[in-house]
Amino acid sequence: MRIRSVLATHVPGIIAAALVLPWVIAGGSAWPWAPNTIDLDVYQLTARDLLAGRSIYDTRTPGWDLPFIYPPIAALLAVPMAFGERLFWQIVWGVLQVVCLVVVARRLGLPANWRTGALVAAMVVGLEPIRTTLGYGQVNIILMTLVVADLLPPSDQGRRRLPRGLLVGLAAAIKLTPLFFIGALLMAGRWRTVRNALLSFGGLNLFGLVLLPRDTVRFFTGVTGETTPDSLYVGNQSLVGAGLRLLELRPLGMGVGLAVSVLVAVAGLLVFVGLWRGSGPIRQDRALAVALAGLTTCLVSPVSWTHHYVWAMPLAIVAFGPRLESVPKLWLIGCRALVLLIAAGLPLALLPYAQGAELTYNWWQDTLGAAQPLLGAALLLGVAVPWTGPVLTDSWRSLQRLRHSRATAAPGRGPQSPASRGSSTAGQELTRRPAGRKLRPCSSSFS
């Protein structure tokens, strides 16, 4: 990419971020420039506590009392943040996030020009999850970029530098929700990608276990199962959060929310496979598959704050682009409405919240507070139900082809074995094929 293209695609977003950041979280300052990136503070303080020999799960930020809730490997990766001033890391983190947004836009097929730069800048300002992730100094955009960069090829068809799956495993090691993509890829028959992702995820967590054994055990036996007392908060736009608010009773609301989450997770898997393999009524569209899978992770996680919905960005690029001509119009309208609903952040803008205010909502406030997760669930379930048969059939055939390919490659199946003597003619035909003609690899669909 030429210098002029780099500047055109990156500078508008960086300028927009610099202007917006001080105003996102209360306590920021435009001059001198000092945004209140409270989640970035968590990462920096955790890294310092780690180097000081303290437990990373005892870290609390002054004033906000925020804990570190990620696996130990995430703290180890944050160690460089222990060095340097807060302002330095705010600048580095903000620029890095904008670069990530450009990478996502480019992987979705947008050109490297000023129009893409302007679109990224518009999303920094206009998409609530993008704006608040930047304002908090959160990690969501980076995780999204790792997944998108791993699963979608470069628009210029450049050569891959890493085996597919490694970055998905890295994202899942930092925050567990991207594990959903590994399950989706498994159903889609991407065996090698799944293997690489699991090796990456497992290897990184093993590294964390070796260096921080107590914190690793503490995380996987306690921290992951903890529920925040703010789950009722309207900023929690998961299906569980919607259930808690609508039913107003924690046992019943939690149970209903979890049950619906399981159904939506299955629907998200089916939709991903159908779009990834092109086995559903809609033609193959892997960008849409990845965007909807990311949206699914937000819906089914017990706690998904509004700034977790950064997957609205790739969904917006696909849903408002020219590539969805084969999608049923009603479903396309639903996708676009969901993007606009996420972008506006209406629950936090229009509804009272905190200190139990959610339990006093009337019918229209309850509807607005739950509209985002319920619309997302309806879109996935509405598509998954008619796709179930074709997608499962295609996945079964893919598994059968894998078994067949492994059986033919097993010991005792060579050209001199009794089991393969009947195929000697085929072997002779292969030796007589014209020079320069290449055989098509039979297992390319399983990589």
Give me the pLDDT at residue 227, please: 52
139-148, 251-260, 406-415, 417-426: least confidently modelled range: 417-426
Q: Closest by alpha carbon to 142, among 84, 98, 208? A: 98
**What mean pLDDT do residues 253-262 have?**
93
Cα(421)–Cα(413) distance, integer angstroms: 9
Give me the pLDDT at residue 2, please: 83
Give me the pLDDT at residue 144, please: 98
Residue in the block written with tokens 């039913």: 247
**How confident is residue 253, by pLDDT bands cut at 50, 70 and 90?**
confident
Give residue limits of the domains in the chain: 230-392
% of the chain with per-residue pLDDT over 70:
81
278 Rama sector, left if φ>0, alpha if ψ -120 to 50, beta otherwise: left
CB 144 within 8 A of CB 310: yes
Residue 379 has pLDDT above 60, yes or no: yes
Mean pLDDT of the chain: 86
Task: Write the pLDDT tens digit of every residue in 63-72.
Answer: 889 999 999 9
Task: Write the pLDDT tens digit of every residue in 211-228.
Answer: 999 999 999 987 665 555
CB 142 within 8 A of CB 173: no
Contacts (Cβ under 8 Å, ≥6 apart) of 63:
none
Residue 425 has pLDDT above 70, yes or no: no
260-275 as b/e: b if 16+ CB within 10 A:
bbeebbbbbbbbbbbb
CB 275 within 8 A of CB 292: yes
Task: Write the pLDDT tens digit of every residue in 185-217.
Answer: 998 989 999 999 999 999 999 999 999 999 999
71-85, 130-144, 422-436: least confidently modelled range: 422-436
Residue 42 has pLDDT above 90, yes or no: yes
Give me the pLDDT at residue 428, please: 38
% of the chain with per-residue pLDDT over 90:
68
**How confident is residue 355, by pLDDT bands cut at 50, 70 and 90?**
confident
Q: Closest by alpha carbon to 379, among 285, 254, 293, 303? A: 293
CB 216 within 8 A of CB 205: yes
**Residue 236: strand, helix, or coil:** strand
CB 306 within 8 A of CB 129: yes
Cα(244)–Cα(404) distance, integer angstroms: 48
**How confident is residue 325, by pLDDT bands cut at 50, 70 and 90?**
low
**How confident is residue 443, by pLDDT bands cut at 50, 70 and 90?**
very low
